[in-house]
């Protein structure tokens, strides 16, 4: 599958920034390559979409998750994608390297070229994609409810 046949599906809304992105898309003739799922009538009328319950199913239909965040508290969407057996391309800043571990591809979030290269690589390198999925499943287990509860309990005990 060539890179021109894989649409970019945006599942968040984005507020005011979204309009800037849509203007850029229109100015560059990319309307057929980007789908804003939040604008679909099905998503707008779905409580499970608005509460993100549907996101794991959406992740599982994707080629990869691209999450070039500049700042995050933890990066839960990255962890959700790893749990959903989805390769992740994310930022090399903030907490993303901790959240994605050795299972993600990291890019400078300000570099469109790095992001495009990572997307092209994942779209064409099945071995890398399979390796990332396997590593993602292992890495996500480090953040299971059981391990998180144990870490909190150990913190309480140490106080």
Do residues 37 and 115 share a domain?
no
Q: What is the torsional sign of CA 50, 75, 34, 124?
A: negative
Do residues 147 and 71 share a domain?
yes
Q: pLDDT digits over 49-98, tens only?
A: 888 888 888 888 899 999 999 888 888 899 999 999 999 999 999 989 99
Residue 145: is its pLDDT beyond 50?
yes
Which CATH number fits the domain that encloses residue 112? 3.40.50.2000
Do residues 46 and 60 share a domain?
no
Do residues 87 and 31 share a domain?
no
Place of tokens 């779209």: 123
Contact 89, 67 (CB under 8 A): yes
pTM: 0.83
Do residues 41 and 72 share a domain?
no
- SS3 state of residue 107: strand
Task: Using pLDDT thresholds of 50, 70 and 90, give the confidence band for residue 23.
Answer: very high
Q: Would residue 48 be called left, alpha or beta, if left means φ above 0 and alpha means ψ between -120 and 50 degrees?
A: alpha
pLDDT of residue 75: 87
Distances (CA, A) of 148 to 62, 106, 129, 141: 28, 25, 28, 10
């Amino acid at each position: 599958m060539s890179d021109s046949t894989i649409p970019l599906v945006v599942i968040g809304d984005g507020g005011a920034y979204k309009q800037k992105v849509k203007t850029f898309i229109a100015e560059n003739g990319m309307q057929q390559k980007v789908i804003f799922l939040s604008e679909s009538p099905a998503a707008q009328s779905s409580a499970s979409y608005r509460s993100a319950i549907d996101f794991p199913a959406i992740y599982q239909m994707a080629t990869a998750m691209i999450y070039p965040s500049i700042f995050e508290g933890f990066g839960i969407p990255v962890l959700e994608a790893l749990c959903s057996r989805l390769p992740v391309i994310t930022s090399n800043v903030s907490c993303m390297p901790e959240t994605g571990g050795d299972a993600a591809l990291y890019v400078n979030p300000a570099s469109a070229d790095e992001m495009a290269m990572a997307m092209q690589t994942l779209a064409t390198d099945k071995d890398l994609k399979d390796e990332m999925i396997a590593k993602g499943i292992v890495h996500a287990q480090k953040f299971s409810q059981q391990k998180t509860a144990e870490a909190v309990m150990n913190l309480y005990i140490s106080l």
